[in-house]
Amino acid sequence: MEPATVAIDLALIAACGGLVGLDRRGAFQAMISQPLVAVPLLGALLGQLEVGLALGATLQLLWMSSMLFGANTPPNETLASMVAGGMVLLYGKHIATPDIAVMTIGILLAVPLGPLGRAIDVRLERLNLALSQRALAAVAESRVEIIDRLPWIALGRVFSIHAALIALGSGVGLIVLAAVHPLLDGAVLVAVATAGMYLVPALGLAVAFSLIRRRRGIALGLLTFVAVAIMLDHGGAG
Amino acid sequence: MAQPIYRVDNRLVHGQIISTWLPHHRLQRFLVASDTVPANTLQMTMFKMCVPPPAEFDALPVHEAAAWLNDKRYGKARTMVLLESVQDAARLFAAGHPFPALNIGNVHHAPGRSPITPAVYLGPEELSLLSDLARRGMRIEVRSLPDEPPLDLAARLTR
Amino acid sequence: MTVAATASETPAEGTVGVGTLLRVLWRSFFFLSATNFERMQNVGFAYAMLPALRRLYRGRALDEAVERHLAFFNSHPYMAGALLGAAVRIEEDIAAGRRQPMEVEAFKRCMMGPFAAVGDSFFWASLRPFGAAWAVAGVLSGVIWAPLAFLLLYNLFHVAVRGYGLFAGHRSAEAIIQRIERIELVRLADRLHIATGLFLGATGALFADRAMRSPVGIGDGLEPFLLATLTVICVLCIKRKMAMPLLLYLFTGGCIALMAGLNALFPLID
């Protein structure tokens, strides 16, 4: 592990993290910030597309219910996913190919950043109150051109916070992963891998299934589950 | 037979209602009690459009809504009664329909109102109307989404 | 940006041309940037309206017009395109003295809720889960471009609704509502919910298959049953309003404690 290349990678993670942080809410909402897109993107940038895809798929399901409705602020799925992605991808590039146990530890370490990110988003919205007041003052002073600048101030804050937290979280996470992984004995690692193979996907599927409004959709899901499982079983045996 | 859910929401039917409250309580009918909405054909078209079938949407002036609710015209349908403001809620109550519980979902900022939660701003007028309702035994909670922990406003007001 | 290409066309005084509408469209992508709890998306709305308002008003009249659009506003960012377009059209009429300023305020106040309902339930609660479920199933079956396809499919709808909404809104003012109604996004949302279930079922089977081929497979083809059982348990917990992070820690912690504890008693794994 060379500190110089890790530092370059962290800068890359910061830039990518800041941009997807902007996309999440402040600008575009093009869904580049969804875990399934953002984490593989980071993976491609760090030369670890496969790892990014596997991790992104699981994170996408886990955070699927995080939606912005009106004045309600949801957990920040982008922050939690990008930090999980950042630390696991760095581990993969600089230490060893991440197996399911490493990915699971990464997800577990980064999950609290979802609720933490929500608290940060709420703070940012409070700060934006000053921008709204400045806009009203600008109108009173007959200087509407000030309003042209206001969104960029808000976007600047969103970019910096996401860039800083995602890079910091990934760096700290890498150190924790590198320190913790060798300490775990075989039985614990098997247990973590088992949780990562069954429990984490099951929880993700449960989150996603509970979003379906129509009972017919859930019934259809059960049918395809059985059909595809049988198909794969036969394909695997042949 | 389920009691209707009474909710104050300044945007009436919007994303939170359709995407969270509707599936959570399997709602089948929405009734807006407002003196302006039934007369506004644009708004009526839009509300009817955004409520997914088989759920139904209707709007009545506050007095007619009180009578409609007293007659239990919603039948077996799980119903949400939407009110644009705390004032409308108090008027529905005063119009002879003493409903037992009120959810306050969204009341946006206006001069003189201070925040109770990020989504609910209440001023002296709203607070006095609500404490009056609370004293008459109404349960009042502040909550935007069904899976949030509710804030018990009645307890706070009558304390 | 494509603004320069169309700016050569000079619309009549008192109306807003295609170039200006494109600038409004571009600015609508930053609609949520300065969201605040007091007036929500007011700054975003005024920011997006500014290029059009500058064409219609000068001096004090401009200030007053901007102030109108700094009132409380909260809707869905994509659907706001249609409301912006209609608001520009009503402002043209106000500038020409054909309508009253309060009409644009009333229009926005009435429409933000229903437009948010359509946008939230179609884009957030239906199209995004559908696209994501499809793409997750794709990734698990080895299609590496699935996230890219999700991005393209989703943004096709997204940009079309923003752009169509803005121009149709400008053309038809309040009648935009009938146009949006005709797209039947609500019915489409319903179908997407059913299709999402289909792809989630496939995703579950693919996860079970991945587990089967992993070193922690349990053998005898029991993996799908284990995964399905765990999913049902998790669904029941979520229905009881337990949050995902809590469940994740509870279950993985329990699983690790159980397995490590069992192994300490009956050493099977070295």
Q: Is residue B146 part of a domain?
A: yes
Which residue from C124, C186, C190 is facing B50, i.e. has the nearest CB?
Answer: C186
Chain B residues whose CB is inside 8 A of the A73 CB are 118
Dist. CA C73–CA C44, nearest whole Å? 9
Chain A residues whose CB is inside 8 A of the C37 CB are 71, 125-126, 129
CATH number at residue B148: 3.40.35.10
* pLDDT above 80 for A236: no
Q: Which tokens is C192 given?
A: 């997407």
Which residue from A67, A72, A213 is facing B144, i.e. has the nearest CB?
Answer: A72
Dist. CA B118–CA A125, nearest whole Å? 10
Average pLDDT score, chain A: 95
| Parent domain of B15 | 8-157
Nearest CA to C228 among B11, A205, B14?
A: A205
Question: B106–A69: do the CB atoms touch at under 8 Å?
Answer: no
Nearest-Cα residue of chain C relative to residue B47: C114
Which residue from B14, B23, B119 is facing A213, i.e. has the nearest CB?
Answer: B23
Length of chain B: 159
Q: What is the model's pLDDT at position C269? A: 54
Dist. CA A121–CA C249, nearest whole Å? 24
Q: Chain A: give the shortest CA distance to residue B96, in Å.
A: 32
Dist. CA B90–CA A83, nearest whole Å? 49
* Distances in whole angstroms, Cα of residue C2 to Cα of each of B53, B54, B63: 41, 44, 54
- Domain count within chain A: 1
Given a contact cutoff of 8 angstroms between Cβ atoms, the answer to whether A125 and C37 are in contact is yes
C59 burial (CB, 10 Å; 0-12 / 13-18 / 19+) is: exposed
Answer whether B116 touches C (CB < 8 Å): no
What would the mean pLDDT of B131-152 be, rounded to a whole number?
A: 94
Question: C114–B19: do the CB atoms touch at under 8 Å?
Answer: no
- Chains in touch with A (3+ beta-carbon pairs under 8 Å) read B, C
Q: Is residue B52 part of a domain?
A: yes
Answer whether C119 touches A (CB < 8 Å): no
Q: Is residue B2 part of a domain?
A: no
Q: What is the model's pLDDT at position C221? A: 83
Categorize the per-residue pLDDT at B1 as very low, low, confident or very high, splitting at 50, 70 and 90.
low
Dist. CA B105–CA B61, nearest whole Å? 21
Given a contact cutoff of 8 angstroms between Cβ atoms, the answer to whether B54 and C186 are in contact is no
Question: B145–A69: do the CB atoms touch at under 8 Å?
Answer: yes
The domain segmentation of chain C, as residue ranges, is 2-111, 115-265
The pLDDT tens digits along chain C (270 residues) read 444 444 444 566 778 999 999 999 999 999 999 999 999 999 999 999 999 999 999 999 999 999 999 999 999 999 999 999 999 999 999 999 999 999 999 999 999 999 999 999 999 999 999 999 999 999 999 999 999 999 999 999 999 999 999 999 999 998 998 888 888 888 899 899 999 999 999 999 999 999 999 988 887 889 999 999 999 999 999 999 899 999 999 999 999 899 888 888 877 654
What would the mean pLDDT of B135-150 be, rounded to a whole number?
A: 93
Q: Chain C: give the shortest CA distance to residue B114, in Å.
A: 10
What would the mean pLDDT of B23-41 be, rounded to a whole number?
A: 94
Of the ranges A58-62, B50-54, C7-11, C196-200, which one carries the lowest mean pLDDT score? C7-11
Q: What is the model's pLDDT at position C179? A: 86
Nearest CA to B85 among B122, B40, B112, B133?
A: B122
Q: What is the model's pLDDT at position C260? A: 82
Answer whether C113 touches B (CB < 8 Å): yes
Which residue from C38, C181, C187 is facing B45, i.e. has the nearest CB?
Answer: C181
Length of chain A: 238
pLDDT digits (tens, 9 = 90+) for B55-74: 999 999 999 999 999 999 99
| Parent domain of A23 | 3-237
Length of chain C: 270
- Chains in touch with B (3+ beta-carbon pairs under 8 Å) read A, C
Q: Is residue B1 part of a domain?
A: no
Answer whether A57 touches C (CB < 8 Å): yes
* pLDDT above 80 for A217: yes
Q: Is residue B3 part of a domain?
A: no
Q: Is the dihedral of CA C16, C20, C22, C23 positive or negative?
A: negative
pLDDT over 70 percentage in chain A: 98
Q: Chain B: give the shortest CA distance to residue A217, in Å.
A: 13
A235 versus B145: the higher-pLDDT residue is B145
Q: What is the model's pLDDT at position C268? A: 62
**Contacts with C270 (C-beta within 8 Å, 6 or more apart), sequence order:** A186
